[in-house]
Amino acid sequence: MVDGSLFSGGAVGAGMQEVLRLAIEMVEKGKNFKSVLKTKKETLDALTPLVEEMKQYARELDRGTDTVASLEKEINKGKEIVEKCSKFRWWRFPSFPLYHDRIEGRNKKLGRILSVNVQTQIGRDVMEVLYNVRNILDIIRDDYGGRLGEEKVLRGVSGVPEKPEFTVGLEEPLKKLKVEVLKKHGDRVLLVTGLGGSGKSTLAKKLCWDEQVKGMFADNIFFQTVSKSPNLKSIVQTLFEHCGHRAPEFQTDEEAINRLGNLLRHVGDKGRPILLVLDDVWSGTDSIVEKFKFSTIPGYKIVVTSRFAFRRFHTQFHLKPLGDDDAVSLFHHFTQAKDTNSYKPDENLVHEIVRGCNGSPLALKVIGGSLCHHPYEFWQTMKERLKSNKDLDSHLQNCLDIVEDDKEKECFMDLGLFPEDQRIRVPLLNDMWTELHELDEDGVKAMNIIHSLDSKNLANVIVTRKVATDVEMYYNNHFLMQHDLLRELANHQSNQEPIERRKRLAIDLTQNGKNCPNWLVGQNQPGIVSRTLSFLSVRGTQQQQKQEQVTARIMFVSTDETFTPDWYNMNLAETEVLILNIHSNKYTFPDFIQKMRKLKVLIVTNQGFHPCELNNFEVLSSLPCLKRISLEKVSVPSLCKLRKLRNLSLYMCTTKQAFGSSDIKISDALPNLVELNIDYCMDMVELPSDFCNIMTMKKLSITNCHKLSKLPPEIVMLKNLEVLRLSSCSDLKEMPESVERLQQIWCLDISECISLTQLPADIGELHSLRKLYMWGCSGLNELPHSVTSFENLKHVIHVICDDEAAALWEHFKEFTSLPNLMIVKVRADINLRWLPGFH
């Protein structure tokens, strides 16, 4: 019997305890070895005939067999180990723990392939089959004059925003609203009304997440924001996508409503009633609600939220200001500071400030956020200001006044240019603010401003893909949203100056110029320009009307399918940022753009559901200062010479025309490109090799391009490349060898490249590498031996990965010390808030 005192006390005792623990663990693994072996053999025997069937179906359907082959390869490797272990005799007992771990490792690997690779392949195949079936149904539907009901072949998301995290004072209104919603009969339309910022949208979101409501309506809950200038066809297209359909093209609003009626009637026939939430309906647009009242759908309810109490809707719920206790509770929630050194006000001061907010949840949220981390003097000043101002606009103005940084105020006012309820992609803001406010190229200062606005509740940051550690300066998954009242505040601040001296201007040219501002189009001469930004040529006459020079640095122009670029001619001599917000399938760049000699940033965003065709793109070639172009959901045209361009971003675009049939070499068109971002471009199969002749390239990001299968070998010519991101390119099977020639790379991101089976053999020669992101690389079985060369580097290399990849690195560290290697295990949190309808 061993004396326990021998294993207690100092370092020797601790060491002996660890040896004893490992010994016991080895014995336990040895005892369980036979049962583990038996289970593994049964699993492999069961999977073998299934894999053979998958191979047969793949051959008959002319499908790719890569995923099946990787699964078969893993099964064969497992069989080899099982067969080898089955021949062991009792004297091999010391080897049992080692092979026990290997079998367990193979089990995890096989499980990963089955849960990710095979599921991905199946999902992709199902989507293709459904796509083909849907096309067949469309043909049949057209042939029979639309007599067939809209077939819901794939259930998608409903567009309901996330459940509100913290609310007060909504329990009683929610209870009353639920009673009416859950009634089988009663009014079809229910109106929730109240002042701006009173919590109407929050109440509607809570309703959608209520268990009783979900139990009754199940998946048939749809949440759609209407806003001030609604586009009916666009709203209907969104609802089609919520039901799992491709968004169809509609010629008229009447056609859109008729098709939607057929769809909802079919959805209702499945046995579940339908709940439709129309959020933020404005005065003058309430007639749009009538179009959604389909009387023949049983159990169909519509909940409308609006600042306006429309008389046409009989059942109304008026949200009142919060009571004192609820107001204080909400205020405390938004002033909670994580910093223990922050000023903690006494309750009397808190109650005085809360009373000044008049029970408005938005005012409490914004004012509370603006005071967080500030000293006593700021709280006292806010109290005095609230005493002298009674309206909500003044309260919000007080919050903005407390922002000390001038650039932060300017950035806040820039947000007012974007349409209400629109998610703004953070990379767009970085492009704008880098040039307008002289921020750093990497976006650090821009993100600091964004986080500051978020912390003050002057804007809301939405991250659609969270990882336990941030990818270096990569914000393609970040969006910004702003409450309507805060957007109005930003515009009010911007509009204090006369038009000719404003820094930012927005023009709405939708509905054939119906919403065009009076200062641009004459009231007495519709369609004829009567006021200018700098000089405006009057159509149909040789006369020019000269006005005072306008200093607008940012122009935001909204257009739709009624837009014709020849009806006006603007000379925007001072504009540095032009944002084109498109709602159509085709767009022609106006010729006046070539006169914008100071233009530095061009942003084109398409709000439609299909890529927009761009024409007259070549007018951009004459712009001497154009440094950044961002295109969203467009069909990128053939490239023209853009010699000064440094940053090109393509988001949800089609690239075939630009990269496949351009008359000009890419390296000649973009000779000074420094950063290329390609995200969610589904037709991106291969990066054109000519990009590799752009020696100025420092950052290359190709992400979420699921058809990208390989990179050109010539990529090793990009000797100045510092950052290479290839995350979520699920079909990427290999990386070019000889990457040791990319000696400037410090960040490499291959996370979730599930088809990547091996790393380049000489990856260990990347002597500048500091960050390697590789979570979700389920296809990797081993690391190349060259990674041992990392031991010779003087700096630390962070490998950010999941448990499976971490095991590969830890295995290497058993044989090589790699003291400068830091393994950081992470998990990704993925959501669908980037989709239409998500907030």
In this structure, how many other beta carbons lie within 10 angstroms of the beta carbon of residue 717?
17
Please enumerate in sequence order all residues whose Cβ is within 8 A of that of 462, keeping only pairs 6 or more positions apart, or say none: 423, 478, 479, 480, 481, 833, 839
The tens digit of pLDDT for each residue in 674-703 reads 999 999 998 899 999 999 999 999 999 999
Predicted pLDDT at 275: 92
Which one of 207-221, 342-356, 516-530 scores highest in mean pLDDT?
Answer: 207-221
Rounded alpha-carbon distances, angstroms, from residue 256 to 188, 239, 250, 273, 642: 21, 11, 6, 21, 40
CB 802 within 8 A of CB 825: yes
Q: What secondary structure does DSSP assign to 657-669, as a single string? A: HHHHS-SS-HHHH
CATH code: domain 684-839 is 3.80.10.10
In this structure, how many other beta carbons lie within 10 angstroms of the beta carbon of residue 137?
15
The tens digit of pLDDT for each residue in 743-793 reads 999 999 999 998 998 898 889 899 999 999 998 888 888 889 888 888 888
Higher-confidence position of 833 and 756: 756
Please tell me whether the overall predicted TM-score, pTM, comes out greater than 0.75 for this model.
Answer: no
Pick the closest to residue 114 from 76, 82, 71, 64 (CA basis): 71
Q: Largest Cα–Cα distance in the chain?
A: 111
The pLDDT of 411-427, averaged and rounded, is 88
In this structure, how many other beta carbons lie within 10 angstroms of the beta carbon of residue 391?
10
- CA dihedral over 802, 803, 806, 812, signed as positive or negative: negative
Predicted pLDDT at 812: 78
CB 788 within 8 A of CB 760: no
Instruction: List helix spans (H) across 274-323.
Output: 287-291
Q: Tell me if residue 769 falls in helix, strand or coil.
A: coil
CB 191 within 8 A of CB 313: yes
The residue ranges of every structural domain in the chain are 18-128, 171-318, 324-486, 497-674, 684-839
Can you list the pairs that 238-241 forms with residues at least 24 positions away whose Cβ atoms lie under 8 Å?
238/159, 238/609, 238/836, 238/837, 239/263, 241/156, 241/609, 241/835, 241/836, 241/837
Count the alpha carbons within 13 Å of 682 in the hemisphere toward its beta carbon. 6
pLDDT value at 152 more than 80? no
The structure tokens 């032009």 sit at 578
User: What are the tokens at 286?
Assistant: 């309430």
Above pLDDT 70, what percent of the chain?
70
497-674: what fold?
Answer: 3.80.10
Pick the closest to residue 443 from 431, 460, 455 (CA basis): 431
Quote the mean pLDDT of the chain.
77
Assigned architecture for domain 171-318: 3-Layer(aba) Sandwich (3.40)
- Report d(CA 535, CA 542) in Å as an integer: 13
What's the pLDDT band for 534 if we cut at 50, 70, 90?
A: very low
Pick the closest to residue 484 from 711, 301, 226 (CA basis): 226
pLDDT value at 289 more than 80? yes
pLDDT value at 598 more than 80? yes
Please enumerate in sequence order all residues whose Cβ is within 8 A of that of 148, keeping only pairs 6 or more positions apart, or say none: 137, 140, 141
Pick the closest to residue 760 from 727, 802, 711 (CA basis): 711
The 3-class SS string of 648-659 reads EEEECCECHHHH
pLDDT value at 123 more than 50? no
Q: What secondary structure does DSSP assign to 465-493, as a single string? A: EEESS--TT--TTEEEE--HHHHHHHHHH
What's the pLDDT band for 63 if we cut at 50, 70, 90?
A: low
- Report d(CA 839, CA 834) in Å as an integer: 8
What's the pLDDT band for 114 if we cut at 50, 70, 90?
A: low
- With b for 16 or more beta-carbon neighbours within 10 A and e for fewer, the 505-516 pattern comes to bbbbbbeebeeb
Pick the closest to residue 555 from 417, 415, 410 (CA basis): 417
User: What are the tokens at 146?
Assistant: 């639309």
pLDDT value at 647 more than 90? yes
Facing residues of 316 across strands?
Answer: 191
The pLDDT of 191-220, averaged and rounded, is 89
- Report d(CA 735, CA 710) in Å as an integer: 7
Q: Which secondary-structure segment (H or E) carries 779? A: none
Q: Is there a common fold for 171-318 and 497-674?
A: no
